[in-house]
Homo-oligomer: A and B are copies of this chain.
Amino acid sequence: MNSSLINIGDELLIGQVVNTNAAKMSQMLGAAGIEVAQVITIGDDAEAIRTALTDALRTSEIVLITGGLGPTKDDITKKVLCDFFHSELYEDAEALENVKRRMAAHGRELTDINRQQAWVPRCCTVLNNPLGTAPGMWFDTQDGNGRRQVVVSLPGVPFEMVGLMENEVVPRLREAFHTGHILHRTLITQGIGESFLSDLIEPWELALPRNIRLAYLPQPGLTRLRLTARGDDPAVLQQQVETAVQGLMQIAGQYILCDGFDTLPEFIAHTMVTAGLTLATAESCTGGAVASQLTALPGASEYYVGGVVSYSNDVKESVLQVSHDTLVTHGAVSEETVIQMAEGVRRQLHADFGIATTGIAGPGGGTPEKPVGTVWIAVASEHGTITRKLSIPRQRAQVIEGTWQQLLGLLGKCLKERT
């Protein structure tokens, strides 16, 4: 039993919007034991929608569709689904109530266009969407062999989709299909390249039970290993994965930064909160990305006190108290400056750890001595300050991402060594 996702929207195909819905829906389905076999992204085009739906129903029992439910001309999904299932549109009283409620809450008049949002195919089950005007639609159908298939249409607005998935779609799918269990476990490795790691752990990997798969997820400065186990009994899966992880620890334990955390920020948050430590950030080239990554997680305020984005030298001097002489003598992108930034923010913001970045994110600003991608990072604590020089001769977004990843990796290493 598996699912296909169909994400509809011209904006996805011209690259103006990144398809984050697919990732979010996959996470939610995976947690419910429903595997996603494919994601199909197409434009607001009737023929493409019909073809994608037909193809998806050939391989999947569950087809979830997002997008194209807005009130405007380019939104045609509802009409296409209505035809596909040989149904007709009618005005659903409950959906209309919801539209009216939302308009009233925003102090707005009900227009004909708003009202059209309450028209749905007669053959579907209407899923109430209290966060928006477009209801979800659940279609029950079956394949050539009479096996049950489900098609669900959801709005493309991310939080509306998430609300409907949580409250309506996932619970109904769990009930409609006998869902097996999927267990994921991620380990983050550091200090060894992907191919060397692969060489090292090959015998262990080959000996894994057939229902456990291994995936390598390389990132700047680290490689994540993800084990995925499938089966009917959660306790058995848990035991199998535990045994596999113990085996891995024996052959590659020295490279394993942490076990059971999907991302570095999660590991850092857990470790700092548990140890009662606080953190402050001083960022130049990353421009707030380090702070933003840390604070994207709930509960960040339990260890993160704040930070300074010291883009100009003035701010480095006035807020972080980097010495003017250092900036003139060594430049803003230097080991001396990054040390003073990390120690400055730690001192000024009264934190246990201060971490800092300074570098040339590009595309401008490079020199022969300090080309684009030259970056210094530092971690300051009561035990002193550790620095690293990075060289990331790439595009701006990669320099920024590589820098925060490596900085959090360095902080993770310091935290691991404390314990």
Chain A residues packing against B (C-beta within 8 Å): 10-20, 22-28, 30, 35-44, 48, 51-52, 55, 59, 70-74, 106, 108, 111, 113-114, 131, 157-159, 162, 184, 186, 193-196, 198-199, 202, 205, 213-218, 226, 228, 262, 281, 283, 286-292, 294-296, 298-301, 304-312, 314-315, 318-319, 348-350, 361-365, 394-398, 400
Contact = CB atoms under 8 A, between A and B. Distances in A.
B72 A194 contact: yes
A28 B13 CA distance: 11
Nearest to A315: B306
Contacts of A114: 195
B315 A288 contact: no
B300 A304 contact: no
Contacts of A394: 131, 159
B195 A111 contact: yes
B37 A40 contact: no
A288 B295 contact: yes
A344 to B, nearest CB: 12
A226 B395 contact: no
Given A36-B13, A213-B10, A289 B287 contact: no
Pairs A-B, 4 closest by C-beta atoms: A287-B295, A288-B291, A15-B26, A15-B27
Given A13-B35, A70-B216, A319-B348, 6 more contacts: A72-B216, A113-B199, A114-B195, A288-B294, A296-B400, A301-B311
Contacts of A395: 159, 162
Contacts of A38: 13, 40-42, 48, 52
A34 to B, nearest CB: 11
**A199, A215, A286, A364 pick with most chain B CB within 10 angstroms:** A215
A73 B205 contact: yes
Taking chain A's interface residues, is the majority helix, strand, or loop, or is none over half, making it mixed?
Answer: mixed
Contacts of A25: 15
A296 B396 contact: yes
Assembly of this chain: how many copies? 2
B307 A312 contact: no
A14 B228 contact: yes
Contact of A349 (B162, B199, B213, B319): B319
Contacts of A290: 288
Among A41, A193, A296, chain B packs the most CB atoms within 10 A around the CB of A41
A27 to B, nearest CB: 4
17 contacts: A12-B26, A13-B38, A18-B18, A18-B22, A38-B52, A39-B40, A55-B55, A72-B198, A73-B198, A287-B300, A288-B307, A288-B309, A292-B292, A307-B308, A307-B311, A308-B309, A314-B349
Q: Specify which of A24, A106, A283, A365 lies most central, judged by the most chain B CB atoms within 10 Å of its CB.
A: A283
Nearest to A262: B16
Given A108-B193, A290-B288, A292-B288, A17 B10 contact: no
A71 B72 CA distance: 47
Nearest to A6: B38
A299 B406 CA distance: 23
Contacts of A291: 283, 287-288, 291-292, 309
A300 to B, nearest CB: 7
B309 A314 contact: no
Contacts of A309: 281, 288, 291, 295, 306-309
Given A15-B27, A159-B398, A350 B113 contact: no
A8 to B, nearest CB: 11
Contacts of A281: 288, 309
